[in-house]
Amino acid sequence: MQKRWNRTLFFVIVLGLAGVTAAQTTDGQRNFPRFNFNAGGAFGIGRGDTGAFVGNSFAGVAGAGWNFSRLFGVNAEYMYYDLSFRPTVARQQNLGTASGSLNAISLNGIIRPPYHFGPYGFYGIAGVGFYDRNTYSNTGSVAFALCQPSWRWWDIYCFQGKAPDGQSLGSYTKIAGGYNFGGGLTYSLNHFHHAKVYAEFRIHKPYFSDSDMGAWPITVGLRW
């Protein structure tokens, strides 16, 4: 818990510094774009239960935000992360036809060091947000069946290794808070309104009460 508070405090301090920088910058002095946008596709590396039940997957992100200065900015970002179960997990753990997804909305701070190597640059990003996990299975009732590890994503209660009567696998949604951090490299283009191609590594850590989940997306896309 203390570590989470420390991360939140760091994030607030970064935003405070960005606000001070913004207050010192007038419109006449501004030589950076006021808004920022990004969109990309990602290869997701599953960690914890995500790795055990899903393995590696794909994801997509899109975001938009405000630049306080050339160094600091914020953005709101949406991420879709596919949670299609491994065929062996679905078969061995009686999931039938199963699927899932993780949808995340985060508020992030962006730091861009003022160092460039020709068209190349780099940045750091970190933030907090909400994670919405959705799972589906057509198995139906699991009354008196032996409990399986993946069933916790459906909030199945187990007693002495079996699921009591009245429980079933169907559609289930759970929401949790979490954080993310990472960084990326950019390459400036001379067209598409001076867009930048970016490659980014990010760590997402949602805090679901029933599962130790993690996702490490490696994203390639465009930033403006």
- Domain locations along the chain: 2-26+34-223
164, 143 in Cβ contact below 8 A? Answer: yes
Q: What phi and psi, each to the nearest 5 degrees, are found at residue 119?
A: -80, 0
pLDDT at 9 over 60: no
Residues in CB range of 159: below 8 A, 6 or more apart: none
Q: Tell me, what amino acid is at 104? A: A
pLDDT at 1 over 60: no
Q: Tell me: the pLDDT tens digits for 12-43? A: 444 444 444 444 444 445 677 899 999 999 99
Token look-up 């991420």 returns 79
Q: Tell me: the pLDDT tens digits for 61-104? A: 999 999 999 999 999 999 999 999 999 999 999 999 999 999 99
Predicted confidence at residue 69, as pLDDT, reads: 93
Prediction pTM value: 0.83
* Residue 190 pLDDT grade (very low, low, confident, very high; cuts 50, 70, 90): confident
Predicted confidence at residue 2, as pLDDT, reads: 41
Closest CA to 109 of 120, 123, 91: 123
Residues in CB range of 50: below 8 A, 6 or more apart: 57, 83, 102, 213, 214, 215
* Residue 125 pLDDT grade (very low, low, confident, very high; cuts 50, 70, 90): very high
| CATH 2.40.160.20 is the classification of domain 2-26+34-223 | yes
Q: Tell me: the pLDDT tens digits for 129-188? A: 999 999 999 999 999 999 999 999 999 999 999 999 999 999 999 999 999 999 999 999
